[in-house]
Each structure stands twice: as structure tokens, then as C-alpha cells.
Amino acid sequence: MKKSLLYPRVTATRRVVSLDGFWRFKFDPSSEGLEKGWAAGLPEALSVPVPSSFADLFTDKESREYCGDFWYETDFFVPGEWAGREILIRFGSATHRARVFVNGTEVTSHVGGFLPFNAVVTDVVKMNTTNRLSLLMNNELSQTMIPCGATATLGDGRKMAQPYFDFFNYSGIQRPVKLMALPKESITDYTTVYRLGEDGKAFVDYTVSTNGEHDVCISLIDADGKTVAQACGKEGTLTVEKPVLWEVRNAYLYTIVIRIMDGEAVFDEYCDRIGIRTFEIVDGSFHLNGHPVYLKGFGRHEDADIRGRGLDLPTLKRDFELMKWIGANSFRTSHYPYAEEVYYMADEEGFLIIDEVPAVGMFESLMNAVDAAGGSQDKPKWFEKETTPELLVHHKECVREMISRDKNHPSVIAWSLLNEPETTYDAATRYFEQVFDYARELDPQKRPRTFAIIGNSTPDICKCQQLCDFISLNRYFGWYFLNGFMLPTAEMAFRREMEGWDKVRNGRPVIFTEFGADTSAQLHKLPSVMWSQEYQDEYLEMNFRVFDSFDFVKGEQVWNFADFQTGEGIIRMNGNKKGIFSRDRQPKDAAYVFRKRWTELPVDYKG
């Protein structure tokens, strides 16, 4: 059960209680809490909301920038009628490391801040009374975990996070926490794969895993509540005679009901919503249900004022309304898997997701993003370090957890396995091969794999692009290179590089996973200067001209959906300002430029 990543659902046999709300909280800069018994009770605690990042809740800089150990604690009640069931606590995420204690006993631990895990607490909880849940957490960055970075100790002894990535190191319990009661014999996982028959039928090939011997039965129920297909057995095929397919921006969802049966008795029941669709690359184009689709959308962040990266349903709703308004149909979960609620909303709204593992910052010259664009060749090679084998183990574990969690979402069309790593030497190729092979092995739907390629990995020197099923470029011609008055020469250089990609792409599609220009939502200037809204528009028009003149470009995801928080630094004015929307989700001028373009481009553009 520990490893089951099924989304928590109340069914005929399952009970879920939210533990979200105000929790007790305490920083532990000397890492003394464990020795002092804080796992059993937190002295002089503060109070913070869950889910939320802790950084922007307070008014002092020490709290915002805090790096090290910290504790969360709450009490929860286990109903007496749950006796005899398996009892679990399910964390949507805990950033970046957590050790979990119940009534003072350690029950589990987890490394990696963006994926869920369970603590099985059946044997340590007291029934029909209050129990104590405590987490010892840590948000230090290192070179052996993703996202990568360093932790500095300053002259005065304080620790400071040094991300090798360009977003704030938000931490804490940032996603919902649930208390769950499951039957002892239960469903632990399921997978679906879709085939469309020539006779208009659809076939859903499924597998179900349980922790017991009894057989399972599956039903598929349409949006009107009618059962349209049934099958029994842990592996099999559901045949849907007249399927309504899940289409981009026109989603149709079925409910899959899985039951462990013993005669008439239902031992366990799990329900989820799925969409019937195929996604593949055909003749250099993305095909959804056999029809070409051009990707329009964003690289995004989970980021908002005050709550940081904490799941916030109103912000999530607003983001999807803005993406619909602007005519987008896709996004990349840059640079980490998002909260599960994001994927369920994308399933419902018909958005296509490139799901990204938190493998960012694998490039020492990206330190604090200051020399992001130029790259630096004199640093030690990232994939030849002593720390690389340990990093690979953690990276693969995150890939496993991400695919396990997200594999059944119709919205998820591809995996992004790294963002902007080094790619120009053989050790990188060997590292990449292991991650790419592993993803292929794990994904029942065999979705296309990619990684976001940094500007200085040009087609002539990149030694990893050949592993991608489609090529994803992060390109900043006109911003980091040849910017301002030099924009026309940026266009020339950009076109030359695209000709290079055409030579090595071998029939594969190319998309842009990043392009963008920092822009102040307040600044206008005629003629334009960099950072003005006028310059952002000119920059975009140049990029569009390039995209439109290469038929093999099959998608554009601008950087970024909204302005977002980063660490302090000389190239960031209270965050990254490449948003098409401001951080409070209002349009910059560029939003209207995109709206015009994307609402006019046909869905099968260049198909």
C-alpha cells in the first residue's frame, strides 16, 4: 500500500478525510528537534496553513529564506468504525524531504518534493481517539537530488539555498494531506491503453494490481451514467461499441469502476475518470485520435502570491480560464510534476500536458541562472561527477513515481525527462539513455519522450537529442542573445539554427518549450526598449515568423504563462517577468497578441 499512488477517492469501500487546515510549525536550524523529542510534541510552535509554502507567510527575511530542517505537526482523529481496515496518511507532496512520525513513532520517509507518498499507520494509530502526526522536513538543495542546487553556509553560520534553477525554492507541505481507510484487500494500481478500431469501436486494454488473490471486475460508465463496457480479470479489454473520444479542448470522460469481488461481495471499489484517446507521432506530426494537432500554450509554474507553490484551487481555476480565453491547448509542467488536481482539470478541459520530472539545474553554469544563456565550458562536467550515480538513482525514482501517478490521465501526452541539462559529451548520452529507456519501460501507453534543450546545445554538438521522440527547444534569440536593436540579426541566427535542426531531426517534429522576453506589466515605450510591452510584442512577432516558416515546427509553448517568483539576483527584479500574464493573473499586451494568433490558428495547423 505504501507504494500505491492512486488518487484518494471515497467509494463504497474507501474513506478519505482531509487533514488540511492550520498545523503547528517550527524551524529547527540546529537540527536538534529529534534529539529533544519534538517528534512527540512540538514546543512553542507557530501556526501555518496546509497546503501552502511557508516562505511568503511571514514578514521577516529569515523565515522567507529559511534553509534547513523544519517541523510540521497536527492531531487527527481515527473513527472507531475504521477498526480492521488499513489506515494510511497520503501526502500530495512534501518539499523536499520528510520523515513522518505518528504518536512519536517513525512510519515512513520520502525524498523528492513534487510527488505523493503514503504512510501506512494501521499499527501505530489509536482508534476512536486523537493521534499526533509530525513531520521532520528539510529543504536543502544538493547535487544528488532533483531539482539540483547547493546549500551554502554563510559567514554568520546561516544556511542559504543556492538553486541551479530559476525559480524560488518554495518548500513545506504544499499539497493536500489525507487520512484514508482502505479494505485490507485492496486495489493498488491500474493502467489503461487505448486502441481505435476501423469499425468505430474503441478498445481499452487494462491491467489491475491488487494486494490479494480475489478477482476483479471493471465497468466503464459514460457521462449519462450508462454502463457501456464490462470485463472481469486483472488483465483484459473493455470494448466500447460507440465511443465518444477525448479530444483536445473538447473532452469527454468516462468513469472506470474497478471492484474486487468475492461472489456478490465487494471487497474494494476504486473509481476514476478516464478519456479514450490515442496519441502518437505520425509523419512528423502529433496525432490525437488520428488527427494532427499543433501545440499552443505555455511553460508554467505552480506559483502565486503568499501561498507560493501551495495548491490553490481558485488560482488553478483562473489559470485554466485564462488559457481557454487566450486559445491555448497545452502546457508543460515546467519544472516538476504539478499537483494531481491540475491534471484532473486538464482532463476535464481537454488540455494536452507535457509532464516534466523535476530534473532541472543539471548544469553547474546555470547557478542562480546568472550565466544561463552563455553557458560555461570551464566547469566540471555535470554527468562525470562522483555524485552522478546517486543522482541517477533519485532521478529514476522520480520518473517512476511520476509515470506511476500520471499514466492514466488522457491529458498527459508526453514525458519531459530533463530541463536544460548538459548534452555535449558521451557521459551525458549514457546518463540520458538510462532515463529514456526507463521511462519507455514504465509507461504502458509508450508516450513520446523528450527533454528541453538549452540554447548552447546546438544541433551540431548536442549528443542527446537523438534520444527524443520529438525535439523540444528552449530558445531566447532576441532576449539573451542578439537583443534589442539587434533583433533582426537574432532572426537571421535563429533561422540558421533551425536549418541545422532540420538536418538532424530525422523526420521528428520540433516544438518550442521556451521562448520569451522579460516584460514589466507597467512599462510602455515608443520606440520599444527591452522590458517594455512593445518589445515583448516585437520579440514575439519575430519568433512567430520563424515558427511559421518551418513546417516541421509543430508547437509553441511560450515562457512563461505568468510572472513568477525567483531568488534575489541582479537579473531578476522580484522574480521572472516573462509572463504573458502578471503574477496576479491579468493580461499584459502580449496576451492579446497570442489570443489573436492562437484563436485563428487551426487545430491541425501544418498538419
For residues 540 and 597, what is the distance between their CA atoms, to the nearest angstrom? 11
Q: Which residue has the cell 513520446?
A: 448
Q: Residue number with the shortest CB distance to ligand EVA?
A: 166
Q: What is the nearest approach in angstroms of ligand EVA to the Cβ of residue 47? A: 33
Q: What is the nearest approach in angstroms of ligand EVA to the Cβ of residue 376? A: 15
Give me the sign of the Cα torsion angle 255, 184, 399, 306: positive
For residues 425 and 419, what is the distance between their CA atoms, to the nearest angstrom? 17
Q: What is the dihedral of CA 368, 370, 376, 379, to 10 degrees?
A: -30
Among residues 356 and 401, whose Cβ is nearest to ligand EVA?
Answer: 356
Neighbouring residues of 598: CB distance < 8 A, sequence distance ≥ 6 = 296, 326, 327, 328
Assess whether 514 carries a catalytic annotation.
Answer: yes
Q: Which of 302, 401, 420, 556 is catalytic?
A: 420
Among residues 77 and 481, whose Cβ is nearest to ligand EVA?
Answer: 481
Given candidates 576, 590, 593, 606, which one binds ligand EVA under the rule CB under 6 A?
Answer: 576
For residues 530 and 281, what is the distance between their CA atoms, to the nearest angstrom? 38
Q: Is 474 in the site for ligand EVA (CB under 6 A)?
A: yes
β-strand pairing of 285-288 with 291-292: antiparallel
Q: What is the nearest approach in angstroms of ligand EVA to the Cβ of residue 513? A: 8
Among residues 419 and 565, whose Cβ is nearest to ligand EVA?
Answer: 419
Closest to 104 (Cα-Cα) out of 126, 132, 129, 123: 132
**What SS3 string covers 28-97?**
ECCCCCCCCCCCCCCCCCEEEEECCCCHHHCCCHHHHCCCCEEEEEEEEEECHHHCCCEEEEEECCCECE
Among residues 91 and 451, whose Cβ is nearest to ligand EVA?
Answer: 451
**Interface with ligand EVA in residues 475-504 (CB under 6 A):** none
Q: Which residue has the cell 477498526?
A: 83
Q: What is the nearest approach in angstroms of ligand EVA to the Cβ of residue 177? A: 28
Closest to 286 (Cα-Cα) out of 201, 194, 344, 352: 352
Distance from CA of residue 493 to its chain's centroid?
Answer: 32
Among residues 5 and 418, whose Cβ is nearest to ligand EVA?
Answer: 418
Q: What is the nearest approach in angstroms of ligand EVA to the Cβ of residue 252? A: 34
**Interface with ligand EVA in residues 362-401 (CB under 6 A):** 369, 372
Q: Is 578 in the site for ligand EVA (CB under 6 A)?
A: yes
Q: Is 451 in the site for ligand EVA (CB under 6 A)?
A: no
User: What are the beta bridge partners of residue 261?
Assistant: 266
Q: What is the nearest approach in angstroms of ligand EVA to the Cβ of residue 416? A: 11
For residues 604 and 293, what is the distance between their CA atoms, to the nearest angstrom? 5
Among residues 369 and 498, whose Cβ is nearest to ligand EVA?
Answer: 369
Amino acid at 163: P
Collapsing DSSP states into helix, strand and coil, what is residue 521?
coil
Residue 94 in grid coordinates: 512534501
Assess whether 420 carries a catalytic annotation.
Answer: yes
Q: What is the nearest approach in angstroms of ligand EVA to the Cβ of residue 349? A: 25
For residues 323 and 593, what is the distance between their CA atoms, to the nearest angstrom? 14
Q: Is 269 in the site for ligand EVA (CB under 6 A)?
A: no
For residues 537 and 588, what is the distance between their CA atoms, to the nearest angstrom? 10
Q: Is 356 in the site for ligand EVA (CB under 6 A)?
A: no
Q: Which residue has the cell 489573436?
A: 596
Collapsing DSSP states into helix, strand and coil, what is residue 400?
helix
Q: What is the nearest approach in angstroms of ligand EVA to the Cβ of residue 346? A: 21
Angle between helices 426-442 and 388-406 (to 10 degrees): 30
Q: What is the nearest approach in angstroms of ligand EVA to the Cβ of residue 211? A: 40
Q: How many residues line the site for ligand EVA (CB under 6 A)?
A: 12
Given candidates 117, 164, 267, 559, which one binds ligand EVA under the rule CB under 6 A?
Answer: 559
Q: What is the nearest approach in angstroms of ligand EVA to the Cβ of residue 168? A: 11
Helix ranges (H only) for 443-518 are: 487-504
Q: Which of 73, 364, 514, 538 is catalytic?
A: 514
Residue 472 in grid coordinates: 523540444
For residues 3 and 464, what is the distance between their CA atoms, to the nearest angstrom? 32
Given candidates 56, 86, 166, 272, which one binds ligand EVA under the rule CB under 6 A?
Answer: 166
Among residues 115 and 418, whose Cβ is nearest to ligand EVA?
Answer: 418
- Cα separation values, 82 from 85, 183, 271, Å: 6, 9, 20
Q: Is 419 in the site for ligand EVA (CB under 6 A)?
A: yes
Among residues 259 and 583, whose Cβ is nearest to ligand EVA?
Answer: 583
Q: What is the nearest approach in angstroms of ligand EVA to the Cβ of residue 561? A: 12
Contact (Cβ atoms closer than 8 angstroms) between residue 134 and residue 101? yes
Q: Is 438 in the site for ligand EVA (CB under 6 A)?
A: no
**What SS3 string covers 288-317?**
ECCEECCEEEEECCCCECCCECCCCHHHHH
Among residues 419 and 532, whose Cβ is nearest to ligand EVA?
Answer: 419
Among residues 125 and 369, whose Cβ is nearest to ligand EVA?
Answer: 369
Largest Cα–Cα distance of the chain, in whole Å?
77
**Which DSSP letter does residue 440 get?**
H
Q: What angle (nearest 5°) sits at the alpha carbon of residue 391, between those of residues 67 and 141?
A: 10
Among residues 116 and 299, whose Cβ is nearest to ligand EVA?
Answer: 299
Given candidates 268, 319, 406, 420, which one binds ligand EVA under the rule CB under 6 A?
Answer: 420
**Interface with ligand EVA in residues 514-553 (CB under 6 A):** 514
By the criterion CB under 6 A, which residues form the site for ligand EVA? Answer: 165-166, 335, 369, 372, 419-420, 474, 514, 559, 576, 578
Which residues have a catalytic role annotated? Answer: 420, 514
